[in-house]
Amino acid sequence: MPFAAWRAVLPAWIDVQPVELPGHGHRSDEPLQVDMPSLAATLADELASLIDGPYLMLGHSVGGVVALEVAHALVARGLEAPSALITVASTAPSQRAGNPQAQPMSDAELFAELQRLDGTPQVVLDDPELLAMVLPVLRADFLLGERHRPSCREPLPCALHVFGGRDDSIAVGALAAWEMECTGPFRMEMCAGGHFFLHRQRADFLRRLVTLAKAYRPSLASSFLARAGLSHA
C-alpha cells in the first residue's frame, strides 16, 4: 500500500488513512469488486465511524472515481462531504465510456496495458508466478472503472483539486471535466511525469499536497486516501 509510506514524510498534523479495497493486500481473502456502487457502499460503511471532523479525500486513477462515489455515499448517510476531493491522474466520470457490459481483458491485453502505463515493477512483469497473483486483481480494477456509469445527481458540495501528469495519456479536457462534479472552488495542476507521477516524483507531489492541505488547516481533522490499485485512466 504505497500511500501508507506517506506517513513517514508528511507533517504529523496530516493523518493519512489509506483505504484498502476488498481483494487487495491484507483483504485478499475477500471477493474483488467490479461494481462501483456496491464498492462505494462498502467503503462508506467502513469509513463512517472514522470521520470525526473535516477531512480530505484523495484518489489516484480510477481511485479518483472511487473517492467521488464514496464521498457521495457518506453524504447519503448523513455525514459531511470532504472539505475537498483530490483526484490524481484520473479521467473525469463524464469522460469515461461507462459500459456496464464491458468484458475483462485477456492476460495479453492486460499485460500490454500495464507496460504502457509503466507503473508495475519490472520484476513483477518478468515473473510468471507473481503475474499470476496480481493479474486478477488488476483486471478487476480495470473492469471497475470500465463498467461504471455515472449517476445523474447534484454535484458534491466541496472543493475539487485535480492533479494531472504532463506525460500522461489523459487529455487535459478529461481532467478539466472534473469541475462539474463539485460545487466548490476548482483548481487543476499539471505535474512532471506520467500516470504514476505521484510515486515517481513523490517529493514534488507531496510538497504540492502539503501546500494544498495547509489551506484547510487548522480545521482539518483527518485525511482519507481512496485508491483502486494500478487501474487505467
pLDDT confidence of residue 228: 38
pLDDT digits (tens, 9 = 90+) for 16-71: 999 999 999 899 999 999 999 999 999 999 999 988 889 999 999 999 999 999 99
Q: Would residue 30 count as lying in a domain? A: yes
**How high does pLDDT run on average in the chain?**
89
Does some domain include residue 196?
yes
Residue 229 predicted with pLDDT over 50: no
Residue 233 within any structural domain of the chain: no
Asked if residue 69 is part of any domain, the answer here is yes
The yes-or-no verdict on residue 226 having pLDDT over 60 is no
Under the banding of pLDDT at 50, 70 and 90, the label for residue 140 is: very high
Predicted pLDDT at 180: 97
Q: Are 15 and 48 in contact (CB under 8 A)?
A: no
Does residue 230 fall inside a structural domain?
Answer: no
Is residue 58 included in any domain, yes or no?
yes
Indicate whether 233 pLDDT > 90: no
CA–CA distances in Å: residue 30 to residues 59, 118, 119, 232: 21, 27, 24, 22
Distance CA 140, CA 146 (A): 10
Residue 227: pLDDT band with limits 50, 70, 90: very low
Residues in the chain: 233
Question: CATH number of the domain that 25 lies in?
Answer: 3.40.50.1820
Burial class (CB in 10 A: 0-12, 13-18, 19+), 130: middle
The answer on pLDDT for 230 being more than 70 is no
Question: What is the structure's pLDDT at 119?
Answer: 80
Q: Domain for residue 22, yes or no?
A: yes
| Residue span of the structural domain in which 30 resides | 2-225
- Whether omega before 11 lies within 30 degrees of 0, making that bond cis, reads no
Report yes or no on 43 lying in a domain: yes
Total domains, the chain = 1
- Give the start-end residues of each E strand in 19-101: 55-60, 84-88
